[in-house]
Amino acid sequence: MGSEEGVFKWTDANTADLIVWRVSNNRLFTGRRNAAIKAFELYVKEKQLEGKVTPAWVRKKWENLKQKYKDLKSLSMAGGDTTIATWKWYAIMDGALSSEIHLNHFIKPDHLTSFAQDAPPIKQRKEEDWLIALREMERRQEERERQAAEREDERDRRAAAREEERDRRAAEREEMRERQALEREERREREMFAREERWEKEMLAREERQEREYREREERREREAAAREERLFKLLETFLANK
């Protein structure tokens, strides 16, 4: 706002009022030299802003609004831009600059009757119509923002539900892995116990077989020794008998 920043605080109401006045008085902006500045001089006078803001500053304010709208419009046509949803003046400027606002669509029949009875000047009636349209656009913008917030909340809820489902499945997988690991460990212990049991049985069987074979060998040796002794006794008897 330059040097005027400390003199006058420009509000949203001033901005809305400027948009309404600018579109309602479009005929003043003929494109001729100094036509725009003279028109904004009229604005400053009508709104009793003399000594608070200059026509040049009001003109700059309008040009800034228009330029930002055009920039966002270009970005939107090129693929979308989230700034559009957050800039409060986009819908209003879109209606104002693209001539897409049809006032009769926003004005109720009782409003039209009131306007006809009061019969205000054409210029005043246009501004009143634009104010009604402006309020309707603001209401629609608030509704769009509310719906966008609801959609965002729904996306958050769905994302939270998906995250919870992923956590649940991950917990189930982890539990399954732990159960499978425990089953493998138990199976290894059973197999190891079975191997040890088989090994002990085989060892006992070998020992019993070795002991049996040892006894059999001892018995065989004893029988052979007894047979030799018997043959020896017989030889001695035969020898003694021959003498």
**Amino acid making up residue 11:** T
Q: How many domains is the chain partitioned into structurally?
A: 1
96 CB neighbour count, 10 Å cutoff: 24
pLDDT surpasses 50 at 116: no
| C-alpha span between 157 and 42 (Å, rounded) | 53
Q: Is 178 a domain residue? A: no
Q: Is 239 a domain residue? A: no
The model scores a pTM over 0.85? no
Q: Is 50 a domain residue? A: yes
Task: Give yes or no for a contact between 37 and 54, defined as CB atoms under 8 angstroms apart.
Answer: no
Model pLDDT, residue 84: 66
Q: Is 139 a domain residue? A: no
Q: Is 218 a domain residue? A: no
| C-alpha span between 106 and 55 (Å, rounded) | 31
| pLDDT, tens only, 156-199 | 989 999 989 999 999 999 999 998 998 999 998 899 888 888 88
| pLDDT, tens only, 85-114 | 678 888 888 877 875 444 334 333 343 333
Of all residues in the chain, the percent with pLDDT exceeding 90 is 18
- Structural domain including 85 reads 1-100
Q: Is 146 a domain residue? A: no
Q: Is 237 a domain residue? A: no
Q: Is 75 a domain residue? A: yes
